[in-house]
Structure 1
């Protein structure tokens, strides 16, 4: 998007103590990715020559969580010297010695800075021709942010951190957004001059603009119009707010692409999900991770899909599904539980209170209600009666059930795997099928029914049932 001659440094070394979490702050997820994952995704969209992530706190855990999904990122270790200035210094030192371009510095806990905003920021920097440009924002409550102090001509004079600011400086409402562009030679020249003579005892990257001004150089500023792109995460309340704002963006994007979302406030869609035009999303629905939904499908209400694939004109309601494939014009729900490996064919049905796992269910086949189908291959045109289950586990190993085309089972059938039902076979109600059933055969579990007269009156004397039985026997 921005062309070459660009390096991006992402600051992700902090501990994030205010999160009060065993999980490193930058790995807390929103929108289907860790916070720093959103920043890395944006960096990739900007087309940088080099992307570096500065790590320190729980370094190995952060690297392990990101390395596979972001193979082009280079992880740089910050040493014991604290502060953003030191973080950028070690990252600049890790760049190729002959790199001569712009260095964009981003925070790993600011996931809302989108590629379009940052591309415009870079364009402003390059147009200004300044050695450094910082992104600023004007906010109603600047508490906690570094203040941007302007000179008499309206230019940037310096940045003052909250803990070092005077009362007059604290009253300034223009804040440092924590995103910068520097010429690489500027950083190489001035970072070694930064000290730790401040309230925090840290190397502040924000000292670089002051050093530039000392030497008579100009520092440019770009005031962002949408202040939300600057929002960072320091605690769980901010995590929830930033997650909500990100979701609003995602939902609106799909609405503009032709998706009907009945209640945006109760609909959550991860950034990697894909929805086609004319999809309808009903309230209280979550479309998570890499779920894809084809045109005309209706999802919800009260549905969660994780890494699922839904075909055209399918209907999925009040369902929890993970790693499942739902065919075109199929129906699922209500109150269905689709576990990984479920594949439902076109025009198939998984109905109320049905659980499936590692099951292939053929075109037009139906599992209408109160059933469990696990480790099974179900053919075309099959109808499993109410409460049919595959008994797939023998206490040691899982076994597979195969049901050929056009099989119909009676209610409360138990298929004890491994077992095969041939094409067109049927089972009687209550059948326990332990042996293969030939094509076209009827499998039944028949035992004589025994009635013990007077059992209730003898063994449950004094109960309502005993009294009712006695009255009927007397009437007879």
Structure 2
């Protein structure tokens, strides 16, 4: 197999998006379009990836990092001009180069591999990725000869009535013999209405040289869609969502209602986990086996163990153990670590807290900036008072502590192992282990107070 290279075209501004955000950085299922393309290309055996950047160059480089080399297209003068910018990196090298657009987030590695294979099998100098569609108006048509090789690409406006009946279209993804590509680029002219250099002209140049030009036809037109506006972005999102959900279901995940379930591209989910309607799972979340998520739960950048239930709750940038029960209506905020067999009940908020194995906060509590030990019970309405208006302070609750309802733990404070805090207490000092701490005013009843009050009126 010959050496392989990839050029990703990502220099266009994307004015039809009507956005401050550079086009290829718009997300599809939680990942920028150009990142989808690079990730798929990276699954192939590729020696070098070169991304052509222009508008928003620094942000694209920041997104892709070291996964690609870069060439700058300072002026956007067409697709052939964009490919020319990679000359300093790739020109003169033997091998095959794939050229793919950075705004085609649905393209699959398997399709690109098949394109390479067709190119090498036919010993072609150029191979076009094509597709058949029912309504090809506006697309360049693929005209083949009697041997099935490509005779030419005809743009819709230039096509004859007979050629317009052809429904095999050019998708804009190509494989080229690398040396033939850069040699042909030198002959591309910009004598057209837009004054730009177009990559399809390379096909015509190579064909006139008597070389073989072939095509590989994908049976999935959807993966070749280029995103140029918000409508196409929405369509790509819908297709990608369906693809992601189906992959998870094939791998043993039950999704009760795929149309109302949103899973981003990098999420991992274990077998026999059930996702109920209204669930959103985002970022680099990893969910274990035999879990139940939802309905109406949002999980982002979390690691969740096995046999855990999260109902109608939000969890962000945290770790959640196995056999944990969360919700309904709980909020796990960033930098929390919920250990195994924990219960976080309704209207409980956990923030930047380690919550120990077997501990419970069953309802109506705020636990922030805390270390909670094992087998702790936190009663209804209890909070860690962690903020003095300028700084945050730590609350430590050791193993087997019982916190009574409506208690305020004013940090910094430590509740020792096995201690009890009486309901309604405001704790401002450390509580020794196995002590009972009562910090509330003594009850006083004023007899006949209401009757006397009424007499004054």
TM value normalised by structure 2: 0.95
CA contact (8 A) 1:362 1:378 kept: yes
Q: Does 1:139 pair with 2:137? A: no
Q: Does 1:373 pair with 2:367? A: yes
Q: How does 1:57-76 map to 2 (within 5 A)?
A: 57-67=55-65, 71-76=66-71
For residues 261-280 of structure 1, what are the alpha-carbon distances to aligned partners after superposition, in whole Å with 9 as ceiling and x for unaligned? 11111112222111111111
Which of these residues, 388, 398, 401, is aligned with residue 395 of structure 2?
401
* Number of the residue aligned with 1:259: 253
* Whole-angstrom distance in 2 between the partners of 1:379 and 1:77: 55
* Number of the residue aligned with 1:87: 82
Runs (4+) off by over 4 Å? 151-154, 162-171, 454-459
TM-superposed CA distance for 1:353, in Å, is 0.7
Change (3 A) 1:80 1:375: same
TM-superposed CA distance for 1:315, in Å, is 0.7
* Whole-angstrom distance in 2 between the partners of 1:173 and 1:455: 94
* Number of the residue aligned with 1:446: 440
* Whole-angstrom distance in 2 between the partners of 1:455 and 1:412: 32
- Describe the SS at the equivalent of 2:142: strand
Deviates more, 1:210-219 or 1:368-377: 210-219
Q: Does 1:430 pair with 2:424? A: yes
* Number of the residue aligned with 1:222: 216
Q: How does 1:323-342 map to 2 (within 5 A)?
A: 323-342=317-336
Deviates more, 1:154-163 or 1:384-393: 154-163
* Number of the residue aligned with 1:19: 17
Which of these residues, 20, 32, 35, is aligned with residue 33 of structure 2?
35
For residues 26-72 of structure 1, what are the alpha-carbon distances to aligned partners after superposition, in whole Å with 9 as ceiling and x for unaligned? 001112210000111011110200001001112122222221xxx13
The Cα RMSD (Å) is: 1.9
Q: How does 1:411-430 map to 2 (within 5 A)?
A: 411-430=405-424
For residues 340-364 of structure 1, what are the alpha-carbon distances to aligned partners after superposition, in whole Å with 9 as ceiling and x for unaligned? 1111111101110111111011110
* Whole-angstrom distance in 1 between the partners of 2:107 and 2:338: 39
Q: Does 1:45 pair with 2:39? A: no
TM-superposed CA distance for 1:156, in Å, is 2.0
Deviates more, 1:130-139 or 1:58-67: 58-67
* Whole-angstrom distance in 2 between the partners of 1:4 and 1:33: 31
> What stretches of structure 2 of length at least 5 have no aligned partner?
none
* Whole-angstrom distance in 1 between the partners of 2:154 and 2:193: 11
Which of these residues, 226, 251, 275, is aligned with residue 269 of structure 2?
275
For residues 178-227 of structure 1, what are the alpha-carbon distances to aligned partners after superposition, in whole Å with 9 as ceiling and x for unaligned? 11000012112110111111232210000011112222222101111111
TM value normalised by structure 1: 0.91
TM-superposed CA distance for 1:247, in Å, is 1.7
* Whole-angstrom distance in 2 between the partners of 1:167 and 1:90: 37
CA contact (8 A) 2:386 2:411 kept: yes
Q: How does 1:194-213 map to 2 (within 5 A)?
A: 194-213=188-207
> What stretches of structure 1 of length at least 5 have no aligned partner?
462-476
TM-superposed CA distance for 1:424, in Å, is 1.2
Aligned pairs, number: 454
* Whole-angstrom distance in 2 between the partners of 1:398 and 1:163: 67
* Whole-angstrom distance in 1 between the partners of 2:123 and 2:247: 34
* Whole-angstrom distance in 1 between the partners of 2:454 and 2:62: 70
Which of these residues, 41, 54, 57, is aligned with residue 56 of structure 1?
54
* Whole-angstrom distance in 2 between the partners of 1:289 and 1:273: 6
Q: Does 1:312 pair with 2:310? A: no
